[in-house]
Each structure stands twice: as C-alpha cells, then as structure tokens.
Structure 1
C-alpha cells in the first residue's frame, strides 16, 4: 500500500491520510469542501460541492488517476434538501456516473454541508 499525500487537497484533520493506493485501486478519505490554499470553506452548497469534487480530483491526480476512473463514491449531506443542488455540481465532475451512495447525516466536521469519498482505478 502507498499513502497519498498532496498539497493540492486539504491535509487530514485527524489520524488518517488523504488516501491510499492498494493494488489497482485508489481509495480516498472523505473530502470536506476546504480550500487547501486558504483553509476556508465557501458558504453555499453548490460552492462546497465544487470544492469537495476538486479535492477528490486532486488526490486522485496525485495517485496517477482521475475523476473519470472513479467506480464508487459515498456522499454525505448535512441537509437532504441540498440534494438537487449538490447533484447539479457533482454531475459536472463525475461524468462517468460511478456507483454512488448519498446520505444525510446529523452533522459534518467543521460545519460543512457536504463531504465526498471515492474509490477509483489507477
């Protein structure tokens, strides 16, 4: 296994890594909508979804893959009423339409509105 580490996505805020490469798979940790350069989060669900997608993409790129090779995502929303707005942004990034689970959770770290994790082929 190889640990993935890139400055182009936010660093871990706990005892975990941004992701791992194992065999032909890349598994990312959940990506909050934190801008890796400033450490800030945008306010709207659309902007947060966009930043989370960019963060997943940066980790995959660091591992030699990309969003087009994602086979499964798990998406977490703080409010299910954000589902449509989240999907609109998500669809622009995950164009291969990977398998997906999307659930509402009571709350996310740092007060985020969304979080995305992914499994991709190398």
Structure 2
C-alpha cells in the first residue's frame, strides 16, 4: 500500500489519517470537505460548496494518479435532505459524463454541509502498488 498524507494544493488533514491510500490499482480517498485550500474558508452557497468539495477531491485523485473519469464509487454525505437536488445538479456537471456507482446519505457533520469520498482506478502505472 501507498499512503498519501497531503496532496500538493490540498487542505492538510485535520486528524491522523491519509488523504488517499493506493492499494493495487485502486485509490481510496478520505472524505473531502468544501474548504478552499490555503484560505481555510468555505464558499457561501451550497452549490459552490459542492463544486469546491469536488475540486478538492479531484486534487487528491490527481495526486494519487487518477481522475474523475476513473472513479468507480462515490459516497456523499449531506446534512439536509433539501440539499439533494442542488448536489445532483453540480455532481452531474462534474461527474455526469460517466457516472460511477454512488451512495448519498444525510448525516450530521462538524461545521460543514457536505463531505465526499470515492474509490477510483489508478491510471498512472508508476503509482500503482
């Protein structure tokens, strides 16, 4: 296994965990939140927060040798059932061209409106373990 503790251009983990773990030809990401890297703030609207969260996820995927085209499973955590429609709209813009399997649930989170994690195929063969 290969562990990525902090991808360049991403937020540092807020606890003792890796942002991604590569095992074989798969990368498993930690949940990403809508904090803008280097600024420690969140966008104002929920749709902007979804976009930022997905950008953060994409940064981690790229550091692990993958991208959105190779995501096989997404887990999304929202804090309000009313968020599902705007979540789906932004999600479709960024991942709708080849939608992976997905689970979305409503939960209570600490100081954020959503969190997204995924599993993807590693396409950069130099990073496979």
| TM-score, normalised via structure 2 length | 0.89
Instruction: Summarize the alignment of residues 1-122 of structure 1 with structure 2, pairs less than 5 Å apart.
Output: 1-4=1-4, 5-94=6-95, 95-105=97-107, 107-109=108-110, 111-122=111-122
Q: Deviations over 1:23-68 (max 9, x none)?
A: 0000000001111121111121101100110011000101111011
Aligned counterparts of 2:120 and 2:41: Cα–Cα separation in 1: 27
TM-score scaled by structure 1?
Answer: 0.94
Question: Runs of 4 or more off by more than 4 Å in structure 1?
Answer: none
Secondary structure of the residue aligned to 1:17 is coil
Find the aligned partners of 2:17 and 2:117 in 1 and give their Cα distance. 13
Q: Distance in 1 between matches of 2:63 and 2:94?
A: 17
SS of residue matched to 1:13:
coil
Q: C-alpha offsets along residues 85-117 of structure 1, whole Å, 9 cap, x if unaligned?
A: 011111111131000000000x212x2111100
Counterpart-to-counterpart distance in 1, 2:93 and 2:24: 28
Question: Unpaired runs of 5+ in structure 1?
Answer: none
